[in-house]
């Protein structure tokens, strides 16, 4: 398959019923949820490079699991991606993202422990199938009421 361009990816996403959240040089991010304050968010994207890839990011927030250390928080995030194990998605990165106070940047409000997974796809039809799957995944680990 000839490598798809960003405009072709955007057109295919819209035709498949997805809403584009943001476009960057080599990536189209898909709006995949609306938080309580109605701000759209994205944890799923289609990327171009040497191949077309579908990527998603899952996370666990320290504030939801205050007694967990970084290793346990990364594992909580990875558990969210368990359904992707048999679909060819592979972990490509993990990182801690401190959420700074916008008024006092020396203060950290929370830390997100994020894990990224991606899958190379053969064409845009397969990309749309994998985007549809990735959209259905829970992206953020939630504490049960009894654990907080």
**Separation CA 113–CA 106 (nearest Å):** 19
Name the nearest CA neighbour of 62 among 53, 54, 72, 52: 72
Sequence-ordered list of residues with C-beta below 8 angstroms from that of 74, at least 6 positions apart, any chain: 60, 94, 113, 115
Strand partners for 117: 56, 91
Q: Is residue 31 in some structural domain?
A: yes
The share of the chain scoring above pLDDT 70, in percent, equals 90
Average pLDDT over residues 53-70: 96
Confidence band of 32 (pLDDT split at 50, 70, 90): confident
**Residue 60: per-residue pLDDT:** 96
62 DSSP assignment:
G
**Residue 55: per-residue pLDDT:** 97
Average pLDDT over residues 31-48: 74
- Gyration radius (Cα) of the chain, Å: 16
Q: Is residue 32 in some structural domain?
A: yes
Q: Is residue 81 in some structural domain?
A: yes
Q: Is residue 100 in some structural domain?
A: yes
| Total domain count, the chain | 1
Sequence-ordered list of residues with C-beta below 8 angstroms from that of 100, at least 6 positions apart, any chain: 107, 108, 109
71-125 pLDDT per residue, tens: 999 999 999 999 998 999 999 999 999 999 999 999 999 999 999 999 999 999 9
The residue ranking higher by pLDDT, 69 or 4, is 69
**Residue 121: per-residue pLDDT:** 96
Confidence band of 148 (pLDDT split at 50, 70, 90): very low
Q: Is residue 148 in some structural domain?
A: no
**Residue 42: per-residue pLDDT:** 78
Average pLDDT over residues 142-147: 70
CB 58 within 8 A of CB 78: yes
Q: Is residue 107 in some structural domain?
A: yes
Confidence band of 146 (pLDDT split at 50, 70, 90): low
**Residue 36: per-residue pLDDT:** 58
Domain that holds residue 119: 6-139
Q: Is residue 1 in some structural domain?
A: no
Buried b (16+ CB within 10 A) or exposed e, 47-58: bbeeebbbbbbb
Q: What is the CATH number of the domain that holds 121?
A: 3.30.1460
Q: Is residue 65 in some structural domain?
A: yes
């Amino acid at each position: 398959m000839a490598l798809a361009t960003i405009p072709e990816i955007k057109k295919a996403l819209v035709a498949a019923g997805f809403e584009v959240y943001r476009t960057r040089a080599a990536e189209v991010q898909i709006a995949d949820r609306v938080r309580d304050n109605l701000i759209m968010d994205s944890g799923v994207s289609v990327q171009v490079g040497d191949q077309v890839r579908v990527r998603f990011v899952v996370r666990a927030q320290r504030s939801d699991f205050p007694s967990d250390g970084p290793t346990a928080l990364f594992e909580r995030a990875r558990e969210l991606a368990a359904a992707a194990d048999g679909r060819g998605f592979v972990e490509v990165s993990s990182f801690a993202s401190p959420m700074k106070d916008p008024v006092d940047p020396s203060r950290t409000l929370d830390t997100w422990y994020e894990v990224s997974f991606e899958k190379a796809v053969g064409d845009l039809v397969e990309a749309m199938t994998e985007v549809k799957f990735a959209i259905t995944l829970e992206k953020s680990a939630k504490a049960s009421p009894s654990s907080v």
